[in-house]
């Protein structure tokens, strides 16, 4: 029974769907390595980011409000949902209008911002991060320690410290770089439950298509 109580408490801390919009501590900016995502699921969805010659590298997965413990999702809020034109304008970073709509529905509402302001903030946050150019130059799949990806981002972004970002893997591949930001989009240390550092020393990293 004690372990069941711990599990239930952990689930409550991790997510609290339907919470009030605008009540959060900081943002998590999630950048996906598109070639990995395409190999795992994007191709099956026929995402434009996965088209041959598309050139997608580090793409915007989302800008996610976080608590100091856990995160909100599918929040209650009075802000109108985005128009089709607004979500379509995010397709260059997110891959599709549908992806932008899903990010708004699950995370954007929780920001308390209007849809236009939320997408503008996501674009600013993405644009403020220098994506290391070395990864765009990969000519063939490589295997490397996930720490190499973290170090490359730290070197390219002097304002970042090791406790402000985390690198995740999925199915043996480099998946995402996630960077913690204040509500006004400045780098800050990540909360303990946000850190998911991949420990693989031979993570696969496919090249840009």
Each residue's pLDDT tens digit, 150-181 = 999 999 999 999 999 999 999 999 999 999 99
Could you give all domains of the chain from N- to C-terminal order, each with its CATH number?
26-205 (3.90.730.10)
pLDDT reported for residue 49: 86
Give the lowest-confidence range in 3-17, 91-105, 156-170.
3-17
Task: Select from 58, 61, 56, 68 the least CA-distant residue to 30.
Answer: 61
Tokens for 177? 């770089």
pLDDT reading at 85 higher than 80: yes
Residues of the chain with pLDDT > 90, as a percent, come to 82
- Per-residue pLDDT, averaged over 81-100, amounts to 96
pLDDT reported for residue 17: 72
pLDDT reported for residue 59: 97
Do the Cβ atoms of 198 and 168 come closer than 8 Å?
Answer: yes
The model carries a pTM of 0.90
């Amino acid at each position: 029974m004690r372990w069941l109580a711990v599990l239930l408490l952990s689930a409550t801390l991790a997510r609290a769907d339907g919470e009030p919009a605008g009540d959060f501590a900081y943002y998590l900016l999630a950048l996906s390595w598109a070639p990995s995502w395409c190999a795992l699921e994007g191709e099956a969805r026929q995402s434009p980011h996965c088209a041959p010659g598309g050139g997608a590298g580090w793409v915007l997965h989302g800008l996610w409000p976080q608590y100091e413990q856990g995160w909100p999702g599918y929040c209650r809020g009075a802000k109108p949902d985005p128009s089709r034109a607004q979500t379509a304008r995010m397709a260059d970073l997110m891959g599709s209008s549908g992806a932008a709509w899903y990010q708004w529905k699950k995370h954007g509402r929780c920001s308390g911002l209007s849809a236009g302001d939320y997408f503008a903030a996501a674009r600013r946050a993405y644009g403020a991060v220098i994506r290391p150019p070395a990864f765009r130059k990969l000519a063939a799949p490589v295997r490397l320690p996930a720490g190499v990806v973290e170090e490359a981002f730290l070197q390219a972004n002097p304002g970042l410290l090791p406790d402000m970002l985390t690198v995740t893997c999925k199915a043996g591949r480099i998946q995402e770089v996630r960077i913690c930001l204040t509500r006004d989009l400045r780098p800050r240390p990540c909360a303990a439950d946000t850190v998911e550092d991949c420990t693989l020393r031979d993570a696969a990293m496919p090249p840009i298509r």
